[in-house]
Structures are given as structure tokens and as C-alpha cells.
Chains A and B, each alone.
Chain A
Amino acid sequence: MIEPRVRELIQAELDDALDAAGRAELAGRLLADPAVRAERESMRRLVAHLEAIPAAEPPAQLSQAVSAALQQEHGRRDRISAPAQGWRYAAAIAAVGLAGTLAYAIIHAGRPAVAELAGTLVKSHPGAAANTVQLLSGPVAGRVILTREGERLALRLDLDTQDPVDVEIVSGSHRLRLDGIARGAVARGSTEPVPLVGFAADGPDVSLTFLRNGQVVSRVTLDRPAQR
């Protein structure tokens, strides 16, 4: 039978919380009693196994989703506190977007940048509805999947692009930007859905603008999945 005091000393030693006096006391107990030595060895092995559990890497889009939500919240507060500035900002973005689109259309006249297969329904998981757009060619290829579970919308991007692209997501007055989406971020087969916080489930369509080095390279629009 191991005394509670000895168990306490063993635990403190394993947790690097034993002072010099405690070490001396434990050393004496270890020398005197083989049962104490067996107990210490058993606990040491347990702790070694616990310490050996490998840490998992967080999903690539965790920090991006947090940043996007913060940016969205920041934008919302700005609109509340300074509506005129917000309108000027929105107008500036719209003008830049329009200019980029026109420039791209002129440069790539006659060449379809994106072939869309809109309206394809895929099942993400039970209870969730999804709408997928396939990007078959152009600067950005892959799939964009908009999922809906109840009133929550989320977006998944399976992109095939050699260089990172930024994605601006807009629906009505809601806007979200994801920076630096690249093939490497989705190659692991774990394309984490990005929650579209604040986007109304039954609101306007969701438009995505893909940008590379600040230039618009592609656009796509998704209908919202109907509630099941």
C-alpha cells in the first residue's frame, strides 16, 4: 500500500513541481521500499505515453476564418459608425472590381475563362444541402461548394491553381475575403468549410471574385441551396 504522501511526491516529481526537500524525501522512500519504486515506474510510463501523443495540426483555414470573421465584424462596425465612409469604400471596391473585370475581359476576349456547371447538388453530410460550381478551365480551376445546414452557410473551395489567389465573397451587403488560397491548402483532401458568418441563408446569391496580385482573374455566382 502506497501512502498518500508518497503518491503526492511521485506526482509532483513527474510534473516537475518537486522542490529539493521533496526530492530528498522521495529518494529515501524509493530506497527503502520496492513497492514505491514500482509505483513510480508505473506512473512514469503512463506519463511518458501521455506526453508522446502527437499534436495535430490545426486546419489550414482556422486562422483565416477567424481573420475573415474579424474583418467582417470590423466592416459592420464601420458601416454603423460611419455609413458615408462605408458607401465610399463600397463604391471604390465596386469601381476597382468593374475595372478589373473590364480589363480582364478585354485581354481575354473570346476565350472563356470559366466554364460553370451550376446547380449540381452534392451531399456534404447528412442534413446539409449543397450547391456546387465547377470551374473547368481558366486561371483558376476546381470546385466551389456552398453548403447550408439550417440557417448556417459555409463555403468550401477545392481549387487547382499554381499561384495563391485571394477570394472576395459577396452577398448583398455582406462581404468576406479569404487571402492566399492555394492548391497546397486543399491538397490534403481536408478542405475545411469556411463559415459565412452573418450571411443570410435565404438572402441574395453568393458571388465570388478570384484575384491574383490584386487583379480579378475569375468570377462565379452560386445560388443558395434550398433548405431540406
Chain B
Amino acid sequence: MREDDDRPLVARWRAGDRAAFEQLVLRHQKPVYNVALRMLRNQEEARDVAQTAFLKAFEHAADFDPNYRFFSWIYRIAINEALHALDRRKPTGPIDADTVDEAPGPERLVEGENVRRALESAVAALSPEHRAVIVLRHVAQLSYEDMASVLGVPEKTVKSRLYSARQLLRADLETRGALES
């Protein structure tokens, strides 16, 4: 999503046009929901997080800096809400029955669905910080600069976390036999 696409709607919303904000919700609900879903692996929690993120954004319109991109802001709220949800979930958080890892074992997995499931499990096994950079890069398709803005850290930190996260994922997938070493 290009920043210029949102600017007219953001301007209308900040001027009090609720319908403009509802257009922004329609425009961004899919990536925001997917970011929450990949962070949490639970559809109900992801829906709640996405809904809360949009409502908080609306309530805090006065805090929004129009020099920033709307999607960076809404992703930041969504990521923070997802991290709070993960904190609340500890130590025995629910996991969707349909996304439970079935531990494929040492035998080599075939390409396709099994690789996808192994990858989703490996992403879920990452720390929240590492998971966030993977999700923002590969689900939300954000640049280093945008990820840094969303996470409130320097670009250098984003690159370092992304590198570490990918190394961990690769090692996990190789152990599961889902990726050739």
C-alpha cells in the first residue's frame, strides 16, 4: 500500500469523517488481521486484536502524526496488541486446534502443505521479537525503514533481528526435514 493512497482518507478522518475511517478499515483489515494471526496463531484472538487496533486508532486520532504513514501506525498498534495478548496468554496459551504442530519427525517432508505447516510452526516457536520482524517483512511486506518505524527501533536492529530470525527458522526447518541443509 502506498502512503499517498491513504492520505486523502486520513485527512477526511482527522477532520471528523467517520466513513473515511471505515474505508481505511476496509483497506487495511486483511493485512492487519494476517499480522495478528501470524503473531498469535489463533483466529479469535487475531480478530479481537485487529478490531481493538482499529478502535484504538480511531479513538486516538488526535495522536496520529500525519507525517507518518497510516499503515505504519495501525501495524504498530496491532503488533503491540498482539504482544500484549501473548503476554496475557503465558504460560499456557491456547493454540487453534487446526494449527497445532503435529511434529513431522526426522523423515524428510514433501514440498507443499507439509513445508507450510512446518514453517508456520517454526515461526510460532520464535520469540515475539523475532516473530514480529518475520511477520512484518513477509506478511505485511514492509521495508526495513517501515519495520523500524512500526517497531520503534533503528533499521540496524531490524536487520539484525531479521537475520537472526531467519537463521533460527532455517535451522528449525532443517531439523524437521522441511528444508535441505
B47 CB–A CB distance under 8 Å: yes
A63 touching B22 by the CB < 8 A rule?
Answer: yes
Number of A interface residues in the complex (CB < 8 A): 32
Closest to A7 in B: B163
Given contacts A53-B138, A58-B50, A192-B47, contact A63 B29 (CB under 8 A): yes
Listed A/B pairs (29) with beta-carbon separation below 8 Å: A7-B163, A8-B159, A11-B166, A42-B179, A42-B181, A43-B170, A45-B179, A47-B138, A47-B166, A49-B173, A50-B119, A50-B134, A51-B138, A53-B119, A53-B138, A55-B139, A57-B30, A59-B33, A59-B43, A62-B29, A62-B50, A62-B51, A63-B25, A66-B29, A67-B25, A69-B55, A70-B18, A70-B55, A74-B18
Tell me which of A11, A17, A70, A73 has the highest count of chain B C-beta atoms within 10 A of its own C-beta.
A70
Chain B at the A interface: SS class: helix
Instruction: Give complex CA distance A53, B139 in Å.
Output: 8
B180-A58 in contact (CB<8A): no
In the bound complex, CA of A211 to CA of B79 (Å): 38
A47 surroundings in chain B (CB, below 8 A): 138, 166
Q: In chain B, what residue has the closest Cβ to A67?
A: B22
Interface size class of B (residues with CB under 8 A): 35 or more
Which single member of A51, A58, A65, A70 contacts B30 (CB below 8 Å)? A58
* Contact status A56-B33, CB under 8 Å: yes
**Interface: B169 (CB within 8 A):** yes
Q: For the complex, what is the distance from the CA of A26 to the CA of B143, rounded to whole Å?
A: 21
Known contacts being A8-B159, A58-B33, A65-B51, is A49 close to B22, with CB within 8 Å? no
Contact A42 B144, CB 8 Å, known A55-B34, A58-B29, A67-B25: no
Given A49-B119, A66-B22, A43 contacting B166 (CB threshold 8 A): yes
Q: Which residues of A contact B162 (CB under 8 A)?
A: 11, 15
Contact A46 B169 (CB under 8 A): yes
| B103 interfacial contact with A, CB 8 Å | no
Whole-angstrom distance between the alpha carbons of A62 and B46 in the complex? Answer: 10
Closest CB pairs A-B (n = 7): A58-B33, A50-B138, A66-B54, A58-B29, A55-B34, A63-B25, A46-B170
| A1 at interface, CB cutoff 8 A | no
**B26 close to A (CB within 8 Å):** yes
A32 within 8 A of B: no
Asked whether any CB of chain B lies closer than 8 Å to the CB of A52, the reply is: yes
Q: Does B64 contact A (CB under 8 A)?
A: no
**Does A46 lie within 8 Å of B166, measured CB to CB?**
yes
Cβ distance A47 to chain B, nearest Cβ, rounded Å: 8
- Complex interface: chain A residues within 8 A of B180 (CB): 42, 45
Residues of A within 8 A of B31 (CB): 55
A70 touches B21 (CB 8 A): yes
- B58-91 contacts to A, CB under 8 A, are 58-59
Residues on the A chain within 8 Å of B22, using CB: 63, 66-67, 70
